[in-house]
Amino acid sequence: MEKELIVYGRTFPCPDFTRSQRFLNTKNVAYRLIHIDKDPEAGELVERYVGHRSVPTIVVARKGDVLPIEEPAALPEGRSARSFDRGTMITEPSDEALGKFLERHGLLNS
């Protein structure tokens, strides 16, 4: 199966989004950017999975799709989505968490 990395972000400045984009660009990781403030369906998708419109929310999808290849793991009761690897989705990750997420999915170029 061919995978694609989807990054849900916004058009206005966000430090977590900017940091994750810089990490992905520095590591030459290909991704498709979808702005949740321009795409109502994308905003609803992020809200459904995260509980609010938090960016970046990064998803591993089938090539050409926008949904996770597998249903993301549920967040434990009281746990923030921040940097929590949910299998096929991670939200507001640290660089370390994002690197591990990408490696596990075979998406981090050496």
Q: In the CATH hierarchy, which top-level class contains the domain 3-104?
A: alpha beta
The ranges assigned to domains in the chain are: 3-104
**For residue 8, what are its two tokens?**
């849900």
Average pLDDT of the chain, as a whole number: 95
pLDDT digits (tens, 9 = 90+) for 46-67: 999 999 999 999 999 999 999 9
What is the pTM (predicted TM-score) of this model? 0.95
In this prediction, residues 91-107 reach a mean pLDDT of 96
Alpha-carbon dihedral angle through residues 52, 55, 59, 65, given to the nearest 10 degrees: 80
pLDDT digits (tens, 9 = 90+) for 75-91: 999 999 999 999 999 99
